[in-house]
Amino acid sequence: MGTLLHGLLGTTKTLVSLLPVVGLCHMYLNDLQRAKFYAAIGLDAREYDREVIAKTNETAGRVFPVILDVDHPEFYERLERCVENNAKLTEISKQNGGFLKKLPFYLSNLWQMIKLFLIPAKEPTKAAVR
């Protein structure tokens, strides 16, 4: 029974890490594509998203056993690499480029998300757990 429980807990921690990586990466990329909108309402899209990511992570720490290490030096570096890849994908699309021209950037984005997922999760701080 202990092994089963340990296995389920490990699976839960894995999912708790995977889902936020995908969701936050999607939000970050989406919002930065709309940076002009954020600027029009007086916000810097990057700074706003970093604040949202920190608050979301803090809130997740109230209900989940682990949270993303958004302070890890690679966290935003990898998100920014995805932003660069998406800009290149957009440019290729504007030039009617095909899938094969886009493939390296899709694969790079996938690799960045895998590397984000592999950043060790951390336990929430006591302040986040209420």
Q: What is the pLDDT of residues 46-103, one digit of tens each?
A: 999 999 999 999 999 998 888 999 999 999 999 999 999 999 999 999 999 999 999 9
User: C-alpha 105: how far from its chain's center?
Assistant: 17
Q: How many CB atoms lie within 10 A of CB 129?
A: 11
Which segments of the chain does DSSP mark as H helices, in order?
Answer: 2-33, 35-40, 45-60, 73-94, 99-118
Given this model, what pLDDT does residue 47 score? Answer: 97
Given this model, what pLDDT does residue 17 score? Answer: 78
**What are the pLDDT digits (tens) for 21-31?**
999 999 999 99
129, pLDDT greater than 60: no
Residue pointed to by tokens 């993303």: 68
Full-model pTM: 0.83
16, pLDDT greater than 90: no
